[in-house]
């Protein structure tokens, strides 16, 4: 979560630096690499970074989905206890057991919702931040690829061309 709570501009610079430190050695090591290979390296690294950002927030969605279900399960147990109290022949203690079961059901429901709702709110917030970062990274990658494209265009202009007579 640290990366999503920091300053956005710092994160974009950090992610671009990370991208370049991972992708640049591949590009430099493959001197004869054509632009399509460089583009594939950039796309692969971009996909990896995007997945990493999304994986940092997906657990909030899991909590937001599971917590209400656990609350519902507790509610079912509370209602079962309440109906068990109705069927029991314990006289005036039946009402105490009935109210205890209903109370258990309501507490479990409230707890599940109290955990699930904030988790979904935080998930939506951090998912938005992650998508914004991914968008900025895609924009930066497009810019870097455009600059590399110019470099590759210049490199191919310098390559000697065989004349038909030399064949």
What residue ranges do the domains of the chain occupy? 2-156
100 burial (CB, 10 Å; 0-12 / 13-18 / 19+) is middle
Cα dihedral angle (116, 120, 126, 131), rounded to 10 degrees? 150
Residue 11 tokens read as 């994160």
Residue 33 tokens read as 């690499």
User: If you compute the radius of gyration of the chain from its CA atoms, what whole number of angstroms results?
Assistant: 30
- Write down the pTM of the prediction: 0.65
Residue 161 tokens read as 């061309």
Please report, in tens digits, the pLDDT of each residue of the chain (167 residues total): 444 444 556 665 666 666 666 655 555 555 556 777 778 888 888 888 888 888 889 999 999 999 999 999 999 999 998 888 887 777 778 888 888 889 999 999 999 999 999 999 999 999 999 999 888 888 888 888 888 778 777 665 555 545 555 44
């Amino acid at each position: 979560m640290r990366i999503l709570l920091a300053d956005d501009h710092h994160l974009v610079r950090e992610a671009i630096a990370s991208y370049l430190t991972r992708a640049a050695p591949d590009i430099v090591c493959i001197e004869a690499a054509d632009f399509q290979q460089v583009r594939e390296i950039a796309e692969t690294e971009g996909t990896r970074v995007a997945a990493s950002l999304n994986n940092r927030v997906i657990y909030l969605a899991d909590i937001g989905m599971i917590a209400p279900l656990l609350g519902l399960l507790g509610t079912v147990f509370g209602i079962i206890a309440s109906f068990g109290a109705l069927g029991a022949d314990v006289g005036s203690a039946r009402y105490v057991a009935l109210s205890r079961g209903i109370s258990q059901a309501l507490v479990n429901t409230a707890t599940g919702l109290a955990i699930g709702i904030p988790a979904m709110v935080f998930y939506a917030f951090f998912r938005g931040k992650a998508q914004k970062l991914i968008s900025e990274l895609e924009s930066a990658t497009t810019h870097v690829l455009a600059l590399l494209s110019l470099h590759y265009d210049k490199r191919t202009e310098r390559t000697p061309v065989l004349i038909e007579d030399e064949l």
